[in-house]
Amino acid sequence: MKRPWLILFAALGCAVPALAQQAPPPQAAMDAIVDEVVQRYRLPGLAIGVIEHGEVVYRRGVGELVAGGGEPVTPETLFKIASNSKSMTTALLARLVDAGKLRWDDPVTKYLPQFRMYDDWVTREMQVRDLLIHDSGLRAGAGDLMLWPEPSRFSRADVIHGLRYLKPVHSFRSRYDYDNLMYIVAGEVAAVAGGVPYEELLRREVFEPLGLKRCRVGEWRRDEVGNVAQPHRREGLRNLPVREDGAVIANSTMAAAGGVRCSLDDMLIWLRTWLRPDDPAQPWLSAEQRRALWAPQMPMPVSQRQRDWDGSRYSAYGYGWRLSDVDGSFKVSHTGTLMGMYSVVTMLPERDVGFVILINGEAEEARTVLNQVLVKHYAAPSQGRDVAYYAQALRRERANTPAAQRAPDTSARAPASIDAMQGWLGRYQDPWFGGVSLCAQDGRVRFVSRKSPMLSGTVQRVGQRWLVDWDDDSVDAEAWLDFATGEAPQGGAMTLAKVDPEADFSYDYEDLAFVRTGGCD
């Protein structure tokens, strides 16, 4: 019987790749590739592993847990895997489907009667599967300000309640736009169906049966676990630790979307679980549910980069996985991104190979380049494309970015005067984000969020516009402030927008609509 993706490739007119055995790169060659990426992008730390034909053929830690701290990254080091947590959430749900405790097409309200979307029809029609495939109709990253920047005071109940106020920008199920909030809902559906909190359920149904011994979710103590990588941001040529862990890692509201931490060794076990589904030692998930997780559920646009680099003609989202073709080979992958932490998991199932990369620094380009070099080694080794090739390609992309998509020059700025902003000062409320104050403090105008403590900063004047310069440099997307006069005696409404149009979509300023509710205390 043909594998589902082979049937799909045939339907798309793709050549089905021969399942030739491709030798792994020699140890020295792999070391040279990794070292070049680490040096080129000045990474504080990295862990990388490759598994082929069920065996680990490369496994290495480079750098430090904290830059300059002297403690080395090892294959046992814990990293935030960020959105690679999503595939663990979908696997958990698949286990519940196998157990007969839920169905993919069950309405969400069967488990969470309090669940509401902006449109009543969408509320009624939203199924469990819709929570997982980014088809909600909301803009990319809608409501993510309830999750990031961390720490946040929003609860999962707040997230579920806030969804009813987020206005869609597309029709339900009409197109792909990445979201995180639906995965928070999915985690709570799993908790209701499984009868215990999400964290306990994930440990019981995923970590324990697979032997992911160092993976962590929920509350835990840093020093009892040990060997935990810390995130970093770049300042010039330096890597600076940012948002370092305290003695106790608190339970995270966004655990089901991106709150799991694992070691490289854990992630290699995770890879082997998917690459070797018929292994009798892993009677963990039915063949039917494995197929469901890797079946195309929502079409995704094929980017120009995918066409140029990989000859891709197909891209889709499964349940917690991205699916595409690379030089005729089926690829299953996902990335994970949090402040100062980057990850990627990639599998080429027909080649029986997979690899995982975990980085504790600002590393978007480093992740892209290193992952792509490995993909090409297995999918199209004759092309001989190396680190320099892809690094230069990304440099050309940046150089060709239209001016309208670049951040404007805001260096000519000065703190806004209290007198100039007097008509707009006060307390404001957004229906899903909650309250903020725009008030005078110590001679400056301060923007302060009640439930997202990292979103506090000083208002600056740039030409004829106002922007918020956030206090913490790790909050790296400044916001324009715009006002409209309403019926209130002073400024009636306030909106925010990204200063840099290319900033991470999780800075979801565009969905905020503040109304002034009173004066400053």
User: Using CA atoms, how far apart are residues 244 and 284, in angstroms rounded to an integer?
Assistant: 35
Place of tokens 């997307």: 477
User: Using CA atoms, how far apart are residues 212 and 216, in angstroms rounded to an integer?
Assistant: 9
User: Using CA atoms, how far apart are residues 88 and 224, in angstroms rounded to an integer?
Assistant: 24
Q: What is the pLDDT of residues 271-280, one digit of tens each?
A: 999 998 776 5
Q: Which two tokens stand for residue 370?
A: 């290193």
Residue 281 has a pLDDT of 53
Q: Which two tokens stand for residue 5?
A: 């993706």
Q: In angstroms, what CA-CA distances link 6 with 13, 297, 302, 308, 387?
A: 11, 16, 19, 22, 30
Q: Is there a contact between 130 and 182 (Cβ–Cβ < 8 Å)?
A: yes
User: Using CA atoms, how far apart are residues 447 and 184, in angstroms rounded to an integer?
Assistant: 28
Q: Is the pLDDT of residue 7 over 80?
A: no
Q: Of 31, 97, 507, which is closest to residue 319 (Cα–Cα)?
A: 97
Phi, psi of 170 (to 5 degrees): -135, 165
The SS3 of residue 354 is: strand
Sign of CA dihedral 32, 67, 270, 160: negative
Give 320-325 contacts, CB < 8 A, sequence gap 24+. 320/86, 320/87, 320/88, 320/89, 320/90, 320/91, 320/132, 320/293, 321/87, 321/90, 321/293, 321/294, 323/5, 323/294, 323/296, 325/9, 325/12, 325/14
User: Using CA atoms, how far apart are residues 427 and 432, in angstroms rounded to an integer?
Assistant: 15
Residue 407 has a pLDDT of 86
- In the chain, ranges of CATH 3.40.710.10 domains: 22-399
Rounded mean pLDDT, 344-352: 97
Q: Range with the lowest mean pLDDT among 92-101, 176-185, 397-406, 488-497?
A: 488-497
User: Mean pLDDT for the chain?
Assistant: 92
Taking 3-state DSSP, the helix, strand and coil percentages for the chain, each rounded to the nearest 5, stand at 35, 25, 40
Query: What per-residue string of b and e applies to 438-465 under the rule 16 or more CB within 10 Å gives b?
Result: bbeeeeebbbbbebbebbbbbbbbbeee
Q: Which fold has domain 22-399?
A: Beta-lactamase (3.40.710)
Q: Strands, E, within 2-106: which ranges?
A: 45-52, 55-63, 78-80
Residue 444: CB partners within 8 Å, gap ≥ 6?
A: 415, 416, 418, 458, 459
Residues, the chain: 521
Q: Is the pLDDT of residue 490 over 90?
A: no
Band of residue 249 on the pLDDT scale cut at 50, 70, 90: very high
DSSP letters for 377-432: HHH-GGG---HHHHHHHHHHHHHTS-GGGSPP---S-EEPPTTTTGGG-EEEEETT
First CA to last CA across the chain, in angstroms? 71
Residue 491 has a pLDDT of 54
User: Using CA atoms, how far apart are residues 254 and 243, in angstroms rounded to an integer?
Assistant: 16
pLDDT > 90: what percent of the chain?
88
Q: What is the pLDDT of residues 375-426, one digit of tens each?
A: 999 999 999 899 999 999 999 998 888 877 788 999 999 999 999 999 999 9
Query: What per-residue string of b and e applies to 185-211 under the rule 16 or more CB within 10 Å gives b?
Result: bbbbbbbebbeebbbebbbebbbeebe
Q: Is the pLDDT of residue 514 over 90?
A: yes
Q: Of 475, 417, 420, 468, which is closest to residue 447 (Cα–Cα)?
A: 468
Q: Is the pLDDT of residue 487 over 60?
A: no
Q: In angstroms, what CA-CA distances link 425 with 16, 429, 436, 494, 516?
A: 63, 13, 11, 11, 9
| Helices assigned H by DSSP within 83-152 | 85-98, 120-125
Q: Is there a contact between 165 and 146 (Cβ–Cβ < 8 Å)?
A: no
Q: Is there a contact between 291 and 281 (Cβ–Cβ < 8 Å)?
A: no
Angle ∠(103,109,111) on CA atoms, nearest 5: 60
The SS3 of residue 3 is: coil
Environment class of 69 (CB within 10 Å of its CB; exposed 0-12, middle 13-18, buried 19+): exposed
Rounded mean pLDDT, 444-472: 97
Q: Of 57, 32, 34, 33, which is closest to residue 47 (Cα–Cα)?
A: 34
- CATH class of this structure's domain 414-518: mainly beta
Q: Is the pLDDT of residue 14 over 50?
A: no
Residue 405 has a pLDDT of 77
Q: What is the pLDDT of residues 164-173, one digit of tens each?
A: 999 999 999 9
Q: Is the pLDDT of residue 509 over 70?
A: yes
- In the chain, ranges of CATH 2.40.128.50 domains: 414-518
Q: Is there a contact between 511 and 166 (Cβ–Cβ < 8 Å)?
A: yes
Q: Is the pLDDT of residue 21 over 70?
A: no
Cis peptide bond upstream of 231, omega within 30:
no
Residue 149 has a pLDDT of 94
| Helices assigned H by DSSP within 298-363 | 304-310
